Structure 1
Amino acid sequence: MPENEMLSCVVKEPRLVVRKFLARPQHEGLGAIVRRSIGRFELRYFDPFLVLDEFSVTAPAGFPDHPHRGFETVTYMLQGAMTHEDFEGHKGTIKAGDLQWMTAGRGIVHSEMPAEQGTQKGLQLWINLSSKHKMIEPRYQEVSSKDIAEASKDGIKVRVIAGEALGAKSPVYTRTPTMYLDFTLKPGAHLQQPIPESWNSFVYVLEGEGTFSGKKSSPPVSAHHLLLLGSGGDGLEAWNKSGSKPLRFILVGGEPLGEPLVQYGPFVMNTQEEIDQTVEDFENCVNGFEKAKHWRSEAAIRLDF
């Protein structure tokens, strides 16, 4: 069945929750706090997803100048604002509800720092690139909150970061086929969302409590939990059985690459030889990292980092 036809169908065989993790706070970057649910010791990789962080940053903490190669980062702001700069001269600020989809490709060095007083919160997802895309030129896609596709029906609201839901479709282009949906369910609401059958998928709960996995009698799951969905089903089924509080969660799915993976911190390639070459390229400021030799972000200069 073509994917666009499948996405219009009712879920007939809901996927079951096969693993559940509570993402506990840990330190990352310069004084930042993240709740990491993918990319931790229990779940190093969930093809094609490398990392999922729910971050919380208060100045002067943040993520000063650092490199990437071989994957994409997706930053979705929940509260406050973050300013990003890179050695290509790109600079911008994303605020609550805004999205930045960055393709690191062959190499980028950038910083991500708080742009407002108080605490900035958001999600950052790392999506692996296939071997044929790992060395492409870096690219940014930025979408302001007002331009993110939204739809509502039967007590369900969705913001479509990537993919399609409730008839709304995202304009974001994903090299690795991906869906990224931000759902809010009012008390009593019931969701059925199709997922392409060959894709890996997961749920991350942001607010409230929800019941997932096709079993309405299952115990509810609260905020900061990641739920891995099993294969074999055609979609997600979820309920908000709360009498008063909304349930908010993201549903993310992606087509597995099925390729070898070697990761060294912010570098993700297919072989150890490619990782060794990447480290050498970065240290010598060549092969995509030329501009790193003389570049520092304005934030790093202020911090004398």
Structure 2
Amino acid sequence: MPQRKGCSSLNEPRLVARKFLARPQIEGVGTVVRRSIGGFELKYFDPFIVLDEFSVTAPAGFPDHPHRGFETVTYMLQGAIMHEDFEGHKGTIEAGDLQWMTAGRGIVHSEMPAAQGTQKGLQLWINLASKYKMIEPRYQEVLSKDIAEAEDDGIKVRVIAGEALGIKSPIYTRTPTMFLDFSLKPGGHLQQPIPNSWNAFVYILEGEGIFGNMISQPSNSHHILLLGPGDGLEAWNKSSKLLRFILVGAEPLGEPLVQFGPFVMNSQEEIDQTIDDFENFANGFEKARHWTSESQIN
């Protein structure tokens, strides 16, 4: 039965099945990322393709590049990033803002610093089922002030996708997904349900926490924790400082995956066709022929 505002007691809390530190590396043009999914230690965690914690200072960034076959979720933690694409969509994602981009059949875009100093954020790539890979691109964008939030008993949550503490996100996810930004004050104790069939992980942004059960070793910033089977996450902040982490889960697709850089499809033949489409400005990439981002022109 509910204990408080959407927190329910868990019959089988998920334990930490695997844990490792996301180490810094260079991506794009001079951008420092900590890649926890999509790197050497973890190539794929169905349906999650990539998770980067990025840190970028001008003139570094991600100049014009393509995508096909998946979604990108950009969640800014500090500063601002300017986004523009060959469909004419342009905007700035500032601290606390969210952009959920469905690349679908094809998009070419740029993501570059829009402020002085260092810009920091998270970017998550979520695979699309084969039936959705060639849909038209679309965006869902939410300003920080409009992201659903709740607080209760030492716990604060920003609900990017899914539901927590009785609050739901308006974001529509083609692959059923939860993306929750939790902050636990010292002494805070969380019980968050997760559908049993979903894959789920924790990525720690700040502080130190205990996850899974009370006898687990504490985990701290920049660590990813892959969760085993169960019906939810239990977490404690037994330190004297704030603990902040994201909890992300989704229903696995269980489909073949072939990735070639920014293209993610179900077979090598589809990858070959995608490369051909991109090189020949066809089947979703037509507008790339005559488009260059303003950031690259300048």
Q: Go from structure 1 to structure 2 and tell me whether the alpha carbon gap of 1:8 and 1:212 turns closer, same or farther (over 3 Å shift).
A: closer
Alignment RMSD: 0.7
What is the CA deviation profile of residues 74-123 of structure 1, one whole-angstrom value per residue up to 9, with x for unaligned ones?
Answer: 00000000000000000000100000000000000000000000000000
Counterpart mapping for 1:181-220 below 5 A: 181-213=180-212, 215-220=213-218
Counterpart mapping for 1:51-62 below 5 A: 51-62=50-61
In structure 1, what is the equivalent of residue 233 of structure 2? 236
Counterpart mapping for 1:255-294 below 5 A: 255-294=251-290
The 8 Å contact of residues 7 and 192 in structure 2, kept in 1 or not, is answered as no
Q: Given residue 223 of structure 2, which amino acid in structure 1 is its aligned partner?
A: H
- What's the CA shift for 1:8? 6.1
Indicate the SS of the match to 2:270. Answer: helix
What is the CA deviation profile of residues 250-297 of structure 1, one whole-angstrom value per residue up to 9, with x for unaligned ones?
Answer: 000000000000000000000000000000000000000000001000
In structure 1, what is the equivalent of residue 152 of structure 2? 153
In structure 2, what is the equivalent of residue 140 of structure 1? 139
Q: Given residue 233 of structure 2, which amino acid in structure 1 is its aligned partner?
A: L
Structure 1 Cα separation of the partners of residues 130 and 7 of structure 2: 32
In structure 1, what is the equivalent of residue 92 of structure 2? 93
Structure 2 Cα separation of the partners of residues 11 and 147 of structure 1: 30
Counterpart mapping for 1:53-92 below 5 A: 53-92=52-91
Q: Deviation above 6 Å: which 4+ runs of structure 1? A: none
Structure 1 Cα separation of the partners of residues 137 and 290 of structure 2: 18
Runs of 5+ unmatched residues, structure 2: 1-5
Structure 1 Cα separation of the partners of residues 32 and 67 of structure 2: 20
Indicate the SS of the match to 1:202. Answer: strand
- What's the CA shift for 1:9? 3.4
Structure 2 Cα separation of the partners of residues 68 and 240 of structure 1: 39
Indicate the percent of aligned positions where both proteins have the same amino acid: 81
Length-normalised TM-score, structure 1: 0.95
In structure 2, what is the equivalent of residue 39 of structure 1? 38
The 8 Å contact of residues 7 and 191 in structure 2, kept in 1 or not, is answered as no
- What's the CA shift for 1:247? 0.1
Runs of 5+ unmatched residues, structure 1: 1-6
Aligned residues: 293
